Amino acid sequence: MVGMESPAARISLPDQRGFTIVEVMVAMLVLVIGVLGTVALIDGANARTTGTKQREAATNLAREMVETARGVPYAQLTSAAMPAAMQARPGLADADAGNPWRIDRRPADAGTAFRFTVEEASVCSIDQPGDGTGNTTTAGGYCSAGTAGSFVDRDPEDIKRVIVRISWNSAGARGEVRQTTLIHPGRGGPKITSFTETSNTNAGVSFQVAFTGGPARVEFHVNGVNQTPIVCPDPCASPWSFTWNNPLLPDGTYVVTVQAYDRSDRTAGASARTVVLNRLAPVAPKIVGGGFNNLNGSPFGAGFGNFVEIEWGANPESDVVGYRVYRGGSLAAGTGTLVDCTVTPTREVATSCIDRGSGAPTSGRVYHIVAYDLDAAGNPREGDRAALPVDWPNGAPYTPKNLAATRTGNTTTLTWSPGANSLNKLDPDKDTIDYYRIYRDGMAVANRVARDDDFVWADTNNGGTTHTYYVTAKDDEGAESAPISVTR
């Protein structure tokens, strides 16, 4: 049919529908966000990897410094000396030769070096409490914890603790690692195998010491005090002999300790022995005082009358067995009447004496006080005498005033004031007030409980009961004042 289009002649045209500009923009935004997230993820991973490498490098550096400290001679392991000793080692030098101490480390797979700051490279000493000794309160350089008690330790520096602390900055954040180690001085050091005393004379005490390990030096201590190091060839030959000669030390018992060190100041410990010096007779006692005591109401009961009371300071020699007091006689010839001193517990250990047989007070009386030890045969050996002239007449001091007592539980505290006209601690005849004597529940010698010169004394063991206390003033010539009392 004319004018009609056949189906075969139809032409299929493409669909004219597509994406709008808005859809394209949204697709592009999603793509950009994804790319940026991926980049941020990669950057964060790289930063975390770098931070991990920095921490790993810092940890390795701290470990290296700690191990380097083990190679530093033990004597140089101090907070002041150890940094310089470490910086002398390869790889630990200060990167910019300034303050603080900085070290650069470049890992194999890092583009740039990491810079670390050494915040701390310190050393402190530890006195192990296990040995039950050690007084480090004034020694300095000891750790804040781990020190021991109040006894003197001949070698308190048992261990040294090394602390290394390193910091760094990573992407504005600060990181830090800390490494600690303990170093013992005895690791592989020379060991003392024997320590013997070979002679003991007035000229000195000789010793022989044997050791293993060929020490570079040997040191010895006397009662914990370091003496001059023993000079011997390096290495010292074993056995080695030396002499301790200190004529200024008083006779007595001493602990002598030897210790051997190698070139790195390592040691296997000390060896000690007790040494007795008994070279001379004792010196004359010092700080001697006393005289007639006419205390009203004698410690020996009514009708006893006057007596002589003598006191002195203890001798410096620790081998003194006791003291003797002689009445009259010759100082040069060593004569006189031996006084039966009525003191508690006995004359053998006391530093005071009461002469009950002194008789009536007289002027010109002289007493001699002497210390004695035992000679090599075990016999008593008197030393030089100290003379004490006794003054008479001698007025009694003023009686103390304003005695008061307060009691709290098992403690009673006494306070008092000096007697009239004794603000300058002088009694009526211008003698110096030596101290104040306290009695409890009586005025006998056995009732004396203390002496004090601070106008206050505490009885810390009153048993929680009431007591009567007496206080007297005593001058340096032996006289004692009348008492003042209080009951509390």
Whole-number Cα distances in Å, 475 to 390, 431, 436, 481: 13, 6, 9, 9
Per-residue pLDDT of the chain (488 residues; tens, 9 = 90+): 455 555 555 555 555 566 688 777 877 888 878 777 777 776 665 666 677 778 888 888 888 888 888 777 776 778 888 888 888 887 888 887 777 888 887 655 555 678 889 999 888 887 765 544 444 444 457 776 544 444 445 456 678 889 999 998 876 778 899 988 888 765 567 888 899 999 988 888 999 999 887 788 888 888 888 887 676 777 788 888 888 887 778 898 888 988 888 776 777 778 888 898 998 899 999 989 888 887 654 444 443 446 888 999 989 888 888 899 999 988 888 899 999 886 544 444 478 888 877 777 888 889 999 999 998 888 999 999 999 998 888 888 888 999 999 999 899 999 999 887 655 567 788 888 889 999 999 887 778 899 898 899 999 989 889 999 999 998 888 888 889 999 99
Q: What is the largest CA-CA distance in the chain?
A: 181
**What CATH number is given for 191-277 in this structure?**
2.60.40.10
Question: Cα angle vertex 218, ends 216, 223, to 5°?
Answer: 155
316 exposure class (CB count in 10 Å sphere: 0-12, 13-18, 19+): middle
Question: Cα angle vertex 423, ends 418, 427, to 5°?
Answer: 75
Question: Cα angle vertex 135, ends 134, 141, to 5°?
Answer: 100
- Locate 68 and state its tokens: 């380097």
Helices (H), ranges, 372-455: none
- Locate 30 and state its tokens: 């999603």
DSSP secondary structure code for residue 372 in this structure: E
Could you give the CA distance from residue 447 to residue 301 in angstroms, rounded to a whole number?
13
Residue-level pLDDT at 345: 40
Q: What are phi and psi of 129, to 5 degrees?
A: -70, -15
Residue-level pLDDT at 385: 95
pTM: 0.56
- Which residues in 109-148 are b (16+ Cβ under 10 Å) and which e? eeeeebebbbeebbbbbbbbeeeebbbbeeeeebbeebbb
Is 53 within 8 Å of 170 (Cβ atoms)? no
Residue-level pLDDT at 284: 94
Residue-level pLDDT at 18: 64
Question: What 3-state DSSP class applies to 329?
Answer: coil
> What is the location of CATH 2.60.40.10 in the chain?
191-277, 401-487
CATH of 289-390, one of 3.40.50, 2.40.128, 2.60.40, 1.10.1660: 2.60.40
Could you give the CA distance from residue 255 to residue 488 in angstroms, rounded to a whole number?
48
- Which residues in 205-228 are b (16+ Cβ under 10 Å) and which e? bbbebbbebebbbbbbbbeeeeee
Across the beta sheet with 101-105, the strand order is 101-105, 114-126, 159-170, 173-183
CA-nearest of 290, 280, 284 to 385 is: 284
Question: What 3-state DSSP class applies to 123?
Answer: strand
CATH of 401-487, one of 2.60.40.10, 3.40.190.10, 3.20.20.60, 3.40.50.720: 2.60.40.10
Residue-level pLDDT at 324: 92
